[in-house]
Amino acid sequence: MTSRTPAGETPTGVVRADGLRSPVGHADVPARPGREIPEATVARLPVYLRALTALVDGGTATCSSEELAGAAGVNSAKLRKDLSYLGSYGTRGVGYDVDYLRYQIAREIGLTHDWPVVIVGIGNLGHALANYSGFRSRGFRVVALLDAATTRHEELVAGLEVRPFDELEDIVGTQSVAIGVIATPAVAAQDVADRMVAAGITSILNFAPTVLSVPDGVDVRKVDLSIELQILAYHEQRKTGQLPTEGASA
């Protein structure tokens, strides 16, 4: 029962069971108090979304902030404050309607429709990404796999044919692609990013270990495996008593 919506059903018709003075379903948005969502909150919304989906799949209809916070691995006060930026979607004394809240978060993030995505650099990592089913199930659709090496071309990966990198502009233009993924070697990453931006892409997820420079208005997020490991190593070193200044192991 995924499409069951409480009270008022439609996605567009905001329910407003409560009579709060707060931001009701006004079309007027300019200075709406609840609309400036802090970046830290935005980063947690996907986590809540995932936890809610798990609850829905488990058949839970309602949950308290305490339960949901537990499932998401955060403090319950933080969860409530985060959700309060979206509006008042809970009921005091009761909790949150799981399916309703899930839809509200999905709408806020912009997952009510699928986002087309291109992946550039179909090597080790690119293959794994292309085969990753979590893309599709979480609101993203890989529409093209591009690589500069001709030896990669025409290869079928996850049902898609690897295409020459030069087709980037064409694909981005015709399919209105806004999000690009870079999985090329580091030396090529800046060039690829430049081409992406020129083609009209405005959001980039970068796996190459390089600092990208892009114009204003373009968002870049990086996923850097080595950095994560190095952060772990730093703390690990402290745990084991092997402090940095010790090292005269000779």
Ligand X SMILES: NC(=O)c1ccc[n+]([C@@H]2O[C@H](COP(=O)([O-])OP(=O)(O)OC[C@H]3O[C@@H](n4cnc5c(N)ncnc54)[C@H](O)[C@@H]3O)[C@@H](O)[C@H]2O)c1
Where does this chain bind ligand X (CB under 6 A)?
Answer: 120-126, 128-129, 131-132, 134, 147-149, 152, 165, 183-186, 188, 191-192, 207-209, 225
Q: Please report how close the Cβ of residue 163 comes to DNA at its closest, in angstroms.
A: 38
Q: Please report how close the Cβ of residue 242 comes to DNA at its closest, in angstroms.
A: 23
Q: Contact between 75 and DNA (CB under 7 A)?
A: yes
| C-alpha–C-alpha distance, residues 86 and 20, integer Å | 14
**Taking CB under 7 A as the rule, which mask of x and - marks residues 152-191 in contact with DNA?**
----------------------------------------
Q: Contact between 73 and a second copy (CB under 8 A)?
A: yes
Q: Contact between 222 and DNA (CB under 7 A)?
A: no
Q: Please report how close the Cβ of residue 195 comes to ligand X at its closest, in angstroms.
A: 8
Residue among 202, 163, 162, 198 at smallest CA distance from 179: 202
DSSP readout, 163-213? EEGGGHHHHHHHHT--EEEE-S-HHHHHHHHHHHHHHT--EEEE-SSS---
Residue 136 CB: number of other CB atoms within 10 A? 12
| C-alpha–C-alpha distance, residues 204 and 222, integer Å | 8
Q: Please report how close the Cβ of residue 226 comes to a second copy at its closest, in angstroms.
A: 5
Stretch that binds a second copy, among 57-65, 143-151, 161-169, 227-235 (CB under 8 A): 227-235
Residue among 32, 7, 205 at smallest CA distance from 103: 7
**Taking CB under 8 A as the rule, which mask of x and - marks residues 124-163 in contact with a second copy?**
xx-xxx-xx-xx--xxx-----------------------
Q: Please report how close the Cβ of residue 100 comes to a second copy at its closest, in angstroms.
A: 15
Phi and psi based region of residue 159 (left: phi greater than 0; alpha: psi -120 to 50; beta: remaining): left
Residue nearest to ligand X (CB): 123
Q: Supply φ then ψ for residue 32, to 5 degrees.
A: -90, 130
What is the layout of strands, in order, in the sheet containing 203-206? 156-157, 160-164, 140-147, 115-120, 179-182, 203-206, 219-222
Q: Contact between 213 and DNA (CB under 7 A)?
A: no
Q: Contact between 227 and a second copy (CB under 8 A)?
A: yes
In one-letter notation, the amino acid at residue 189 is A
Query: Which listed residue (54, 94, 149, 227) binds DNA by CB under 7 A?
Result: 94
Q: Contact between 214 and a second copy (CB under 8 A)?
A: no
Query: Which listed residue (16, 47, 56, 64) binds DNA by CB under 7 A?
Result: 64
Total residues belonging to the chain: 250
